[in-house]
Structures are given as structure tokens and as C-alpha cells.
Amino acid sequence: MPIELSELDLQNGGSLTGNFFQLLNQVETTLPIPNLFIVKFDIPAAISDEVHDTLGESPLDGKTNINAAANLFKDAKISTNTGFALCNGINVNTETIAVDKVGNQVNGYLPISYNKNRSFDPTDLSTQFMENVISVSDFIFKPWVKMVARNGGFSDSSLHTDLEILYLERSTKSGFFNFFSNTGSPSIRKIYTFYNCLPYDVAAQGIQTYADTPSVINKEIKWKFDRYDIKLPKK
């Protein structure tokens, strides 16, 4: 019968390395693969030629053809159930309390730290989208940002969307957290949900030249949101 490292370590009274190895033996505590995730959000119905035209900013109003792009990107293969497949990068917000200390010049006491306030930054969310022949950044996000700018982003809820990031993990362990309904799919290990999101920044294209070797073009989209939560899916 083979002797496993963990058993050896336990026989020797246990060890730091052996304990860590045992963590790697369990699905719940082994390391996740960071590039397994999907992003889900709905493109608001207001992202349309009809609404865009009312901005009156361009002599080409009515010719932008946002509707064609919106219909394309609302297709089930690109968005909805399986996530927005063109989103290939995420950078979620931090959670911080601002802290400070009382200096040691106060009555000669040792310095102490104290909390000042929660530094909640509701603009600290970005996603990255790859460019396709029809550009999601140019035909969805840039018009969306223009509409948000015009409407202020407060009362006009028709421009808001909830954005969900599902972090996935391989698992064949039955009942390990939440599964998609069909078998053979990865597990969901955590879910970030950002509520009432509005895009506010579309990254610059950068200089493209004839000398460039073709490669995937990625565009960062920054979002602001009202609140967020993180869920551990139920077993």
C-alpha cells in the first residue's frame, strides 16, 4: 500500500508542509484557476439608435446602426446564459477602511491606530472586452457612455444594468457548491454582483500601425455602481 506524504508527516508528528499538502488535497482549499470566470449583464434596451439620436451630438444621427450591434451582442451565444463571451478580463473593487495613528508626541504615549472611515469606491470596477469585427466598445459602450453623460446617471434607470461575475472552478465532486443545470459544467466558486452599473470610461485604442503583428485587441471598460455583494453559492 502506498504511503502518502501526508501520512508520513502525520507519523512524524505532523509538519507545516504536510498540513499544507493536506489543504491541496481538498477541492475546497486547493488553488483556483484565476482565468476561469464569466461575466453576465444585460445590455439595456435604451442602447439603441432611437435614444442615441435624441442626443443630437452628431450630424450622422440615425446612421450609427447601434441597433444592429445591440441585437448581435444580445444573441444567446454572446451574452445571456453563458456570460458575455467577449469579456476576457476583470478587475474588481477593493474594500478598505482608512486608518490613521495618533503620533507618539501625544503625552509621550505609544502611538495607537484608529479607524477613520470606510473607503468605498463605487467606481472601482473594470472589465476588458476583446474587439470583434463589429466593435462592442464602439457600438455599445461608447454610445452607452454618451447617454449616461447626458442623463446624469441618477434617475434614468433604463441605462443601468446589474453586472455579475461568476468565478468558476473545475470540480467533479458531487454537490460542490452551485453547478450549472447541465452536467459536465464547471462549478461556481463565488459570485460578485454589482448593482445599478453604468459604464463611464472606454479605454483608448492606442496607436495601431501597419507594422503590428496581428494580435487580440483588448479594451478596458470602467464601471460605476451603487452597491455590490459577494456570495458563496450554497451546496
Residues that bind other proteins (CB under 8 A): 16-17, 20-21, 24, 30-31, 33, 35
Measured CA to CA, the distance from residue 124 to residue 36 in angstroms comes to 21
Q: Least distance in Å: CB of 1 to other proteins?
A: 12
Query: Which CB sits closer to other proteins, 21 or 176?
Result: 21
Q: Is 140 exposed, middle or buried (0-12, 13-18, 19+ CB in 10 A)?
A: buried
Q: Least distance in Å: CB of 32 to other proteins?
A: 10
Query: Which CB sits closer to other proteins, 16 or 60?
Result: 16
* Alpha carbon 99 to its chain's center: 27
DSSP letter at 147 equals H
Q: Least distance in Å: CB of 132 to other proteins?
A: 11
Query: Which CB sits closer to other proteins, 16 or 76?
Result: 16
Query: Which CB sits closer to other proteins, 82 or 123?
Result: 82
Q: Least distance in Å: CB of 231 to other proteins?
A: 25
Closest CA to 188 of 139, 134, 232, 136: 232
Which amino acid is residue 67, in one-letter code? N
DSSP letter at 182 equals S
